[in-house]
């Protein structure tokens, strides 16, 4: 089981490195990427400055493996990578990076979208929004 978690924000260099590593794969015709960035929302007059992510890692990694297997069974992918932050990620930084590759674009796009939805709805990862006045609250996904 591959560890998808990174302490702190996803480094932009990881995104570029992932794309570069796949440039020699001549069987790939399409990549679809999703980058989830922490927003500086204003909630109740307070501004979100960061999100602190926590997880139950063993359970999350098992579920991620099941999600990956179901996606590979459904779509003809050549590659699928998921990276999720843990700890504090400031507004403007990347907290989720999903990268799907396939021979054709539709499979890559659809698989990427489905993975993002599965990660957001089923993985035991929680985010605590931290406000500019140091208050916090547990985030509710839309």
Q: Which domain covers residue 123, as residue numbers?
A: 5-138
pLDDT digits (tens, 9 = 90+) for 70-117: 999 999 999 999 999 999 999 999 999 999 999 999 999 999 999 999
CATH of the domain at 85: 3.90.1170.40
Tally of domains in the chain? 1
Mean pLDDT over the full length of the chain = 95
Q: Model-level pTM? A: 0.93
Question: Residue 131 corresponds to which tokens in the numbers above?
Answer: 């406000």
* CA geometry: angle 95, 67, 120, nearest 5 deg: 35
**pLDDT band, very low/low/confident/very high, at 37 (cuts 50, 70, 90):** very high
């Amino acid at each position: 089981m591959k560890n998808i978690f990174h302490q702190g924000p996803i480094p932009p260099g990881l995104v570029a490195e992932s794309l570069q590593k796949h440039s020699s794969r001549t069987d790939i015709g399409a990549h679809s990427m999703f980058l989830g960035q922490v927003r500086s929302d204003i909630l109740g007059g307070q501004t979100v400055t960061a999100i602190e992510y926590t997880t139950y890692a063993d359970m999350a990694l098992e579920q991620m493996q099941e999600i990956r297997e179901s996606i590979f069974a459904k779509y003809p992918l050549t590659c699928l990578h998921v990276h999720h932050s843990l700890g504090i990620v400031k507004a403007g930084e990347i907290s989720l990076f999903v990268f799907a590759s396939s021979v054709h674009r539709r499979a890559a796009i659809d698989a990427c979208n489905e993975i993002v939805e599965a990660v957001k709805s089923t993985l035991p990862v929680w985010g605590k929004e931290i406000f500019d006045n140091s208050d916090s609250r547990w985030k509710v996904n839309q």
